[in-house]
Structure formats: C-alpha cells, structure tokens
Structure 1
C-alpha cells in the first residue's frame, strides 16, 4: 500500500493563479473567489499533486504524510 497525503492550501497566501488546477485538476479546484482548495483533504501520493505544490508561485500548498504528519512539500531544511 502506498503513502497517503494530507493536502492543505493556505488561503491567506493563495493568489488564485490556477497553476495547481492546471497541473492537477483532479486534486485542486478554485472557488468563486479564485482561491484554491483541495478536492479532498486526503489522497494517495501522486506526482500531479506534488508538481502542483512545487509549481505554486507563492508556496501556498502544504503536503504532509497522513500517517506521521511528516512534511512532503515544502521539504524541511
């Protein structure tokens, strides 16, 4: 069984660029205020969601391992 991720979007940081939706439309959506949110707060680990987090121009997306809370993105220094 693969890793499960918790995905959060800091809506105070999100600028609504839509990059996350372009990279992973199955994982992210924009609401009527053009703020991003995960379609599901927990998901199987997947490359499109990670690519979306990495491509966010303001790093508003946080991904952690569901089981441990260990950061996936952004990585700890």
Structure 2
C-alpha cells in the first residue's frame, strides 16, 4: 500500500470487468465492501460516494484482491492511492 494514514477520505472503485467475485475483499473488510446480488464486489455507500476514512482492513482487501479489481482513490482530488500504477 502506497497510501496509508493521513491520506484523508478514500473512495473504492471496482473494475467490474476484472472482478471474479472471490469474496476475499468482503471477508477482509466487511464494513467497507460486500458482494452484490450479481456476485461481484461493491463498496458500501460511504466508500462509493463521498469517501470515508481508510482502514487497515480496507487497505488489506485491496491488496488481497487476486485480480487487482479494486483501487483506492483520494476522495479529494481523485488521484489513485493504491495499488500504484
């Protein structure tokens, strides 16, 4: 994880073309991510809209995604935090 403490609110984006619905993210960060009715990852409301504070669990969920379908972006400025491009 290249970001971390001090990054401010973050937004989670899910690349729905890459997501395979493994569920690792939802198990790692159940307060941040869930599998939707279609079986694919979806951020919970606060992480998909205006952003919420980055948690260790969310950072791990992004890192654990086996197909790198999750990315973290700064809610202020929109720049990509993790994974690094």
TM over 0.5: yes
Matched, 1:10 2:12: no
Match of residue 57 from structure 1: 66
Paired residues, number: 75
Taking the aligned partners of 1:45 and 1:14, their CA distance within structure 2 comes to: 21
Q: Shift in Å at residue 43 of structure 1?
A: 1.4
RMSD (Å) for aligned C-alpha atoms? 1.1
Relative contact order higher in (CA < 8 Å, ≥ 6 apart): 2
Counterpart CA distance in 2 for 1:43 and 1:74 is 18
Unpaired runs of at least 5, structure 2: 1-5
Note the 1:31-50 alignment, pairs <5 A: 31-40=36-45, 41=48, 42-50=51-59
